[in-house]
Structure 1
Amino acid sequence: MERNAINWFEIPSSDFDRATSFYNAVFETTMPVIEMPQPGGTPMKMAMLPASDGKVGGAVVHLPDHKPGTQGPLLYLNANPDLQPFLDRAISSGATLLLPKTMIAADYGYMALIIDSEGNHMGLHSNE
């Protein structure tokens, strides 16, 4: 059985509407939004990122305890087949460019680094 090292991820937001608009523009989609009940309080808002059945999924989330930041694990978003148009949409939607499209190695594709609309340090990866 094939397995991914990552199964689910959450991208924290301080302004849920701004973050949802940013990722809708970057992924050229309209993410469905749900509210997940939380013990003893405010439900967590979740905008579901596009993913195929059985593949790694994730969401832009808003909950007081989830804080955007540049420390901790670095997520690389799938920007296949070519990350440049994905990167261009991110920049035009308010991302800060940290590292432009850069070849990792011939067999490993390309990467770029940004700070998203919420202040999260994010990576982009593609084969071309």
Structure 2
Amino acid sequence: MNALNWFEIPANDLQRAIGFYQSVLGLSFTPDTCFDDVEIAVFPHSETGVGGALVKAAHLQPNAQGTIAYLGTSELDAVLARVPTAGGAVLKPKTFLHEDIGHIAVIRDSEGNTVGLHMPMQ
């Protein structure tokens, strides 16, 4: 069992955030509205994998501090190259950690959140 089973990344402008992550990671999202008019856009995931969403809600505000979620990618260099043109910034470039772990990088998304990227060894 994984310690993490769901994550939420706050967004002030959900459509802008969707555009950022679609452009940078090449993902498709499932938009939805859940309780109390909270707007979400769900990241693709399997039923047994970790899920998450971009969330626009009054009780959540994007920020650069706090917990960092690391999103997986098999193309870290290409992803990092797309971050600035999508409205974000690379805060920590591609960094090798260990042969069992792979590479990481840290970005600021279009909403001002700090988000990690992880590319396992292949």
- Is 1:46 the counterpart of 2:44? The answer is no
* Structure 1 ranges of 4+ moved more than 3 A: none
**Aligned partner letter, 1:10:** E
1:68-126 deviation line (CA, Å, top 9, x unaligned): 011111111111x2311122222321111111111012221000011100000111001
1:28-80 deviation line (CA, Å, top 9, x unaligned): 13311000022xxxx1100011112210000001011100011111111111x
Count of residue correspondences: 121
**Aligned partner letter, 1:9:** F
Question: 5 Å matches for 1:100-119?
Answer: 100-119=93-112
Indicate the residue corresponding to 1:84 in structure 2: 77
Q: Of the candidates 28, 31, 54, which is equivalent to residue 29 of structure 2?
A: 31
Deviation of 1:15 after TM superposition, in Å, equals: 1.1
CA RMSD of aligned residues (A): 1.2
Larger radius of gyration: 1
Indicate the residue corresponding to 1:15 in structure 2: 13
**Aligned partner letter, 2:78:** P
> d(CA) in 2 for partners of 1:32 and 1:94?
21
Instruction: Give unmatched runs, 5+ long, in structure 2.
Output: none
Instruction: Judge conservation of contact 1:82–1:127 (CA < 8 Å) in 2.
Output: no
Identity %: 39
> d(CA) in 2 for partners of 1:7 and 1:91?
29
Q: Of the candidates 50, 54, 57, which is equivalent to residue 56 of structure 1?
A: 50
1:2-41 deviation line (CA, Å, top 9, x unaligned): x111000000001111111111212313311000022xxx
